[in-house]
Chain A
Amino acid sequence: MSGLPVVVGVGLTAFAANRVDCTVRDLALEAALACMHDAGLMDLKAVQHGLTSYESDHFNRQMTLGALLHDHLGLTPLPNVRVEGGGATGALALRTAWAYVQSGLCDSILVYGAELNGRSVSTQTANQLFALSADFDWEMMVGGTYTAFYAAMMRAHMQRYGTTEAQCAHVAVRNRKNAQHNPLAQKPMDLTIEEVLNSRAVAEPYKLLDCSLLSDGAAALLLATEDWARAHSPVFARRPVVYFAATGCGSDTMRLGDRYPDITNFRGKRAAAQQAYAQLGISDPLAQIDVAELYDSYSGVEIQAVEDLGFVAAGEGGAAVASGLFDLGGRLPVNPSGGLLGRGAPVGATGIAQAIEIVQQLWGTVHPARQAANARRGLTDTHAGIGTLCVVNIFERRD
């Protein structure tokens, strides 16, 4: 028996541009309830710890959301901790839970994340609120947006490696197509490369259909020691055991310009991946990972990610993506859930939702049309800013 934490249950809400039927606490409650049902547990008090995952006080119009959600989930007087890591919040939350369980601080921990990033504010206001997570004095005040920072990074990648807008468009098409097999996805679409290329410019080289979604939604995952899971979850023995097997974390400067001359890719992501791979002795990730959920905040970001995660060499991501290597049925299916482009991205829930897709891929319980073949080991890649904080988590089915 391994000392690694196991996944006991998972729960996800539908992601939507406007979950008008829910406050943020309603969303968290839906996800937590779904998670407890999935684990076959009816008493939340059986859990030993809570962990609240959310990014933005501004979007949610509520500070200390950890206390509020913990209360409404009926988790008081259990201990709770709130984790924030920008776009990587959900993945950092899981990484934190991994450490809490491994350290013996608790034997079980309910990780729940929720965010209202959808239509509660205008796109203009959303841009401003997100820009607050850039460098306020130097990047926000000059008139930059995150789309522009990513676009400048992608233009440098194109300049250095010859990556094309059509290769980026392949990601936008594929991930939204994958979302068609995910009933909880926000924006399943059947697009052509040309439709992506012809969509209106936002921050060139990125166009509207290269951009991920603003979403309302929540996700929850119950992590525990294997002993706790066997003792408390009546369904645990009935499905394959999935371990949260490894986690890595890396960082980089806030501003792109401070990374010069290394401005084409995510250095923090390389560091995070190397840490996680070292924990499992992974030397050839393309061959040793069966399915992955990557942080496709913009289409080209997935191209940069497959390079930084070591699936292909630097500069080869564009051609590899366009060859179908990462499509469903390809060598290593990427973003079968639809990713941030197709499923959606309520920030505090995103990294947890990525993990849920991987866990269900390993259990073999996703819609057959998006099931990766022989999935034994899956990876999630999540980052904040423009790769300012990067988290790579790896899950393994062992039976």
Chain B
Amino acid sequence: MAEVTAKRDILTAASPHAETPDIWADFRQIEVLTLELRQRYEHSLGKYSRFFIELENGRFLGTRCARCQRVYAPPRPLCPACLAVTTWQELAGTGTLITYAVQHFGSGANDDVNRLATPYVLAYVLLDGASTLFPHILRAAPENVRIGMRVRVAYSSGPVQHPLHLMYFVAQG
């Protein structure tokens, strides 16, 4: 007897339409396989790399456009408003919560995210000196989170899988 090692089901599917006659009547026996595809990537962080490297030193970097003085956090190597190459700019890491979501399901993006207890708070923070909002996890009980509250970057010594998780936000004070 033939053997198929993939998990499979064979079933008879009903027509999703109430049409008569079913023009697909001869094609209602269905086989369903469970397949897995895995990929592994060498993922360069490119011109953004210094941001991640400096997190290991407890420093938070944005980039500044010398032409328009906007400060990008997350960093942008090229200012999209001026098409000028930016320079790295250290920020104090203090800021204000502008908006947030309370996530009851993790994204499964990496081991660090999978370790977060749900619900967790995805915060959009206007860092002092920055022109844009930085999205990251705010480690606070959702009931204590308020738009406008002061927060700051906290640093972790790891171990983390992804260097972005060498930082997170906490309430100030």
Contact = CB atoms under 8 A, between A and B. Distances in A.
A213 to B, nearest CB: 15
A88 interface: no
Q: How large is the interface on B (under 10, 10 to 19, 20 to 34, 35 or more residues)?
A: 35 or more
B99 A20 contact: no
Nearest to A261: B98
A255 B98 CA distance: 14
A258 B103 contact: no
A334 B55 CA distance: 48
B104 interface: yes
A183 B15 CA distance: 13
A20 B147 contact: no
A263 B133 contact: yes
A256 B101 CA distance: 12
Contacts, number: 138
Contact of A142 (B17, B28, B135): B135
B11 interface: yes
Interface stretch (B85-93, B106-114, B150-158): B106-114
Contacts of B113: 141-143
A260 B71 CA distance: 12
A256 B133 contact: yes
| Most chain A CB neighbours (cut-off 10 Å) among B13, B37, B48 | B13
B94 interface: no
Contact of B109 (A140, A201, A258): A140
B32 interface: yes
B124 interface: yes
A143 B136 CA distance: 8
B105 A203 contact: yes
Interface string A342-363: 0000000000000000000000
Interface residues of A, number: 44
B99 A203 contact: no
B108 A155 contact: no
Contact of A260 (B101, B106, B120, B131): B131
Contact of A16 (B16, B37, B102): B16
Nearest to A156: B99
Contact of B134 (A137, A151, A257): A257
Nearest to B27: A21
Contacts of A155: 99-101, 147
A144 interface: yes
A19 to B, nearest CB: 7
B133 A143 contact: no
Contacts of A141: 109-110, 113, 162, 164
A203 B119 CA distance: 9
A249 interface: no
A21 B13 contact: yes
Interface in A32-83: 61
A128 B35 CA distance: 17
A159 interface: yes
B18 interface: yes
15 contacts: A140-B109, A141-B162, A143-B103, A143-B116, A147-B105, A148-B103, A152-B100, A152-B122, A152-B124, A153-B99, A156-B147, A183-B17, A203-B102, A257-B132, A258-B132
Nearest 10 A-B pairs (CB), nearest first? A257-B133, A21-B13, A151-B101, A14-B16, A143-B113, A204-B102, A148-B101, A156-B99, A152-B101, A203-B101
Interface of B: 11, 13-18, 24, 27-28, 30, 32, 35, 37, 45, 48, 74, 98-110, 112-113, 116, 119-120, 122, 124, 126, 131-137, 142, 147, 162, 164-165
